[in-house]
A and B are shown apart, each in its own frame.
With several copies, the nearest count.
Chain A
Amino acid sequence: MSQSISAKKLRAAYQRMLLIREFELRVERLFLAGKITGTAHLCIGQEATAVGAVMALRKSDALTSTHRGHGHFLARGGNPDRIMAELYGKRSGYSGGRGGSQFMADYRIGYLGANGITGGSLSVATGVALAARLQNRSRVTLCFFGDGASNQGVFHECLNMAALWKLPVVFLCENNGYAMSMPVARSIAGGSIARRAQAYGIAGEETDGNDLEAVWRAVTNARRRAAKGDGPTLIECHTYRYCGHSRGDPCVYRAPQEKVAWRKRDPIQRMRRILLTRGVLISGEHQRLMQETRRRVQQAVAHAEADAWPKASSLTKGVFA
C-alpha cells in the first residue's frame, strides 16, 4: 500500500527526532557530570524508529516501551521537564522520582511505560490489547522491544496468544544489532526475528529502522490490520545505537568502523536531506530548529535542577491504592 505523510507531519516528526537526540545527548553529559545517578539507556541513533512508529498511532492507541524508553516517551508527547525530573529523582518527575529512567509512564497519553525487565512489556502490551478487544475499543497497542528481548520465553508465549486470539497489537522489535554486548548473530538462531512470525502464522516484516517513512508505513499497515481484527504483526526495524548500552559501556564488543558506517545512515541527517529536497525544510532552518530544541532541553534541565526532592514523609505512602 502506498501512503505518504503530510509535509506538516514530516516536519513535526523531524523536530521530534531532534528533540530526542538532543535530550539524550544531554542526559549523557548529565550522567558524566554526576548530575544524574543510577542508570539510563539512551536511544541515540534510533530516533526514526521511535518517532516513525509512534506517529502511526492514533490518540486512543496505547504503547509500551523498554529500558531504552526516553525516545518512545518523547515521541508520544511526554513532557521533557517531567522526564528529566524523573531522571534526577525529583518530585515533579513522572513517577515522583520513584521510578527513574526505567519506570515512568503517562497513562493519559496512552504511554504505558518503560520497563526495567527485558521483555517485561510484551505481556503487558498483549494484555492491554486483550482488554481493548473485550471492551470493544478501537485501541491498538504498540509494543516496543529489543532484539535481546525477543529471546525471552514470554515473547513466544505472547506471540502465540496474540496470534490465537487475533489481538490488536503490533510487536515492534528495535533490532539495534546488540543486546548489551551480545550481537544478534550469536543470539538469534535462524538469524531473523521477523521470520519468527511464521511460526505463529502471523505477518512478519523487516524494515529499515533508520528510515522514518518506512517505519511509519510498516506500523501504519500493521495498525490497520490489527484494528480490522486481522491480528498482530511482528515488525523488525534494523537500527543502531551510537552510544554504549548504558552509562560506562566502553563498547569493546563492536568495531569502530561499524559505528562509522551506521553514522552514514544517520536517521536525522537522512531525514534532513529528504526534507530539504522536498522543500519541507528550507536551507538554514535546521539551525533554528536545533536552537529551539536545545533551548527546550535546557529548560528541562533547569526545571529538574530547580525541582524539589520528594517529601521524606511520602516514603511509605501509596504502596496500595
Chain B
Amino acid sequence: MKTITAAAILRETLAAELTADPTVMLMGEDIGVYGGAFGITRGLLDRFGPQRVIETPISENGVVGMAIGAAISGCRPIVEIMFADFVTLAMDPLVNQAAKLRYILGRQASCPLVVRLVAGGGRGYGPTHSQGFAAWFVHTPGLKVVAPSSIADHADLLHAAVQDPNPVVFLEHKRLYGWREPVPADRPVVGLETARTVNRGHDLTILAWSWMAVEAAIAAERLAADGITAEVIDVRCLQPLDMATINESVQQTGRVLIVDEAPRSAGIAAEIGCRVFEASHEYLEAPIRRLTAPDIPVPASPPMEQLTLPDATTIAHAAMGLMETLQ
C-alpha cells in the first residue's frame, strides 16, 4: 500500500479531475508556478496550461463570483482560498448567490463549484490565518460542507465534491498537508453525506473531523491502554450530516464526546450535540460533552495556541471524565 501525504494526494486528485473532465478548472492566488501557498497545485500549471489553471489577482470576492458564473456555464471550477480566513471576503457570492441558485431557480441552474479552504490552527500563523468557519457554511442552506481527515478521504471526498452538482465548501486542514498515511489503491466509493468509523469501541463515542479526528484516534489509543475502548467517528461530512452512523454508535456506547477546534459558541459541535440528543437521548448514560476551543481568537504564541486547541491529551482527559459521569 502506498504511503502518501494529504498535500500529495490532493495534488494527484486535482490532476486526475483535470485529466478526466475538460470542464474542470482551477482558480486561485499563486496556484501557478508557485503551486499555491501550500504547494497543493504544484506542477499543474505546467501540465494543464493557463486555461485550466487560472491564477488570479488578490480579489477573493470577484474570483468566487466568477467561479459561480463559470459553474452555471457548464464548467466545474475549483477555487483555492489560500487561508480559510480570507473567505470572509467571498461570503456574499457564496451565500447570496451560489447557495441559493438551485433552490430558487430550479433545475435550469446547477452550480458545481468547489471552494477549497485552507483551514485550522496549530501552526502559529496567528488569529487571521487559523480559522475555518465551517459552522457558518453549515448554517447556510444550499452549501455542502466537507472536512476530511484520512488521507484517502482527501482524494475520495475531493473527487465526490468535484462530481457533485452543488456548491461544496471543502475544508483542508493545514496540519494534514504533511501527514502521511498508507492509502489502499482499491477503495469503496465515498459519498458526501457519510461519516467514517475510525475504530470500534463500546465505552464511548468520540465524534471529530479534520485534524481533530487524528487527535481523537491518538486519544483512543491512549484510552485503550487504560482499558477504555472509544469508538471514534470521523464525521467528515458536516452538511448534510450522517446522523445514522453517529446515532447508531451513540446508542451502543451511551456516551458521546464531540470535538471541534473551532470556537465553542454556535459551532458544529452544538448542532451535532442537539441532533444526537434529539434522536438518542434515551440511550445516553452520561451528558453529551463538547470539547472545543474557547470563544477566543486563535493566539499566535505557540504555547497559547496549544492551550486553545483540543488535542489527544485533552480529548483523552475529557473522555475519562465522561466515563466517570453518570446520567
Asked if A103 and B69 make an inter-chain contact with CB atoms under 8 angstroms apart, the answer reads no
Residue A154 is within 8 A (CB to CB) of chain B in the complex: yes
Of the residues B100, B123, B308, contact of A38 by C-beta under 8 Å: B123
Residue A89 is within 8 A (CB to CB) of chain B in the complex: yes
Asked if A316 and B296 make an inter-chain contact with CB atoms under 8 angstroms apart, the answer reads yes
For A42, the chain B residues whose CB sits under 8 A away are: none
Of the residues A94, A96, A123, A321, contact of B61 by C-beta under 8 Å: A123
A104–B30 CA distance with the chains assembled, in angstroms: 26
For A103, the chain B residues whose CB sits under 8 A away are: 100, 104-105, 126-128, 300
For A223, the chain B residues whose CB sits under 8 A away are: none
Q: With contacts A97-B301, A98-B104, A321-B102 known, is A118 near B73, CB below 8 A? A: no
Asked if B302 and A37 make an inter-chain contact with CB atoms under 8 angstroms apart, the answer reads yes
Asked if B105 and A105 make an inter-chain contact with CB atoms under 8 angstroms apart, the answer reads yes
For A309, the chain B residues whose CB sits under 8 A away are: 301, 303-304
Asked if B57 and A151 make an inter-chain contact with CB atoms under 8 angstroms apart, the answer reads yes
Asked if B57 and A161 make an inter-chain contact with CB atoms under 8 angstroms apart, the answer reads yes
A244–B128 CA distance with the chains assembled, in angstroms: 21
Asked if A158 and B62 make an inter-chain contact with CB atoms under 8 angstroms apart, the answer reads yes
Asked if B103 and A130 make an inter-chain contact with CB atoms under 8 angstroms apart, the answer reads no
For B323, the chain A residues whose CB sits under 8 A away are: none
A113–B105 CA distance with the chains assembled, in angstroms: 9
Of the residues B33, B102, B308, contact of A318 by C-beta under 8 Å: B102
Q: With contacts A107-B108, A149-B58, A319-B141 known, is A126 near B66, CB below 8 A? A: yes
For A284, the chain B residues whose CB sits under 8 A away are: none
Q: For residue A119, which residue of chain B has the nearest CB?
A: B58
Asked if A124 and B85 make an inter-chain contact with CB atoms under 8 angstroms apart, the answer reads no
For A261, the chain B residues whose CB sits under 8 A away are: none
Of the residues A100, A108, A120, contact of B300 by C-beta under 8 Å: A100
How many residue pairs bridge A and B at CB < 8 Å? 257
A89–B88 CA distance with the chains assembled, in angstroms: 26
Residue A79 is within 8 A (CB to CB) of chain B in the complex: no
For A123, the chain B residues whose CB sits under 8 A away are: 61-66, 68-69, 93
For B296, the chain A residues whose CB sits under 8 A away are: 315-316, 319
From 284 to 311 in chain A, residues with beta carbon under 8 angstroms from any chain B beta carbon are 309-310
Asked if B108 and A315 make an inter-chain contact with CB atoms under 8 angstroms apart, the answer reads no
For A108, the chain B residues whose CB sits under 8 A away are: 108
Q: With contacts A127-B73, A131-B75 known, is A151 near B124, CB below 8 A? A: no
Asked if B165 and A321 make an inter-chain contact with CB atoms under 8 angstroms apart, the answer reads yes
Q: For residue A108, which residue of chain B has the nearest CB?
A: B108
Tell me how far the C-beta of A185 lies from the nearest C-beta in chain B, rounded to whole angstroms: 12
Asked if A157 and B85 make an inter-chain contact with CB atoms under 8 angstroms apart, the answer reads no
Of the residues B34, B67, B110, B308, contact of A181 by C-beta under 8 Å: B34
From 48 to 72 in chain B, residues with beta carbon under 8 angstroms from any chain A beta carbon are 51-52, 54-72
Asked if B97 and A127 make an inter-chain contact with CB atoms under 8 angstroms apart, the answer reads no
Q: For residue A86, which residue of chain B has the nearest CB?
A: B300
Asked if B304 and A89 make an inter-chain contact with CB atoms under 8 angstroms apart, the answer reads yes
Residue A269 is within 8 A (CB to CB) of chain B in the complex: no
Interface string of A112-135 (1 = CB under 8 A from B): 110111111011111111111111
Asked if B73 and A97 make an inter-chain contact with CB atoms under 8 angstroms apart, the answer reads no
Main secondary structure of the interface of A (DSSP, over half): loop
Interface residues on B, range: 35 or more
Asked if A95 and B303 make an inter-chain contact with CB atoms under 8 angstroms apart, the answer reads no
Asked if B72 and A102 make an inter-chain contact with CB atoms under 8 angstroms apart, the answer reads no
A164–B57 CA distance with the chains assembled, in angstroms: 10
Residue B194 is within 8 A (CB to CB) of chain A in the complex: no
Asked if A318 and B58 make an inter-chain contact with CB atoms under 8 angstroms apart, the answer reads no
For A106, the chain B residues whose CB sits under 8 A away are: 108
A224–B96 CA distance with the chains assembled, in angstroms: 32
Asked if A127 and B297 make an inter-chain contact with CB atoms under 8 angstroms apart, the answer reads no
A276–B62 CA distance with the chains assembled, in angstroms: 46
A124–B94 CA distance with the chains assembled, in angstroms: 11
For B109, the chain A residues whose CB sits under 8 A away are: 105, 107
With a 10 A CB-CB cut-off, give which of A118, A122, A148, A154 has the most chain B CB atoms: A154
For B67, the chain A residues whose CB sits under 8 A away are: 127
Asked if B299 and A98 make an inter-chain contact with CB atoms under 8 angstroms apart, the answer reads yes
For B97, the chain A residues whose CB sits under 8 A away are: 115, 117, 120, 124
Residue A1 is within 8 A (CB to CB) of chain B in the complex: no
Interface string of A184-198 (1 = CB under 8 A from B): 001110000000000
Tell me how far the C-beta of B306 lies from the nearest C-beta in chain A, rounded to whole angstroms: 10
Residue A152 is within 8 A (CB to CB) of chain B in the complex: yes
A129–B25 CA distance with the chains assembled, in angstroms: 14
Asked if B73 and A135 make an inter-chain contact with CB atoms under 8 angstroms apart, the answer reads yes
Of the residues A120, A149, A315, contact of B93 by C-beta under 8 Å: A120
A73–B21 CA distance with the chains assembled, in angstroms: 33
Known A128-B73, A310-B304; further 11 A-B contacts with Cβ < 8 A: A38-B125, A39-B129, A89-B299, A98-B297, A98-B301, A99-B126, A125-B69, A157-B59, A187-B57, A249-B34, A316-B295
Name 24 A/B residue pairs within 8 A (Cβ), A-sorted: A38-B125, A89-B302, A95-B300, A98-B304, A112-B72, A117-B89, A117-B128, A119-B58, A120-B65, A120-B93, A120-B97, A127-B67, A127-B70, A132-B73, A133-B51, A134-B25, A134-B52, A135-B73, A151-B59, A158-B66, A253-B34, A309-B301, A310-B304, A319-B141
Residues of B within 8 A of A (CB): 25, 29-30, 32-34, 37, 51-52, 54-75, 77, 85-86, 89, 92-93, 96-97, 100, 102-110, 123-129, 141-142, 144, 165-166, 294-297, 299-304, 307-308
The 6 closest A-B pairs by CB, nearest first: A127-B69, A123-B65, A100-B300, A89-B301, A157-B62, A38-B124
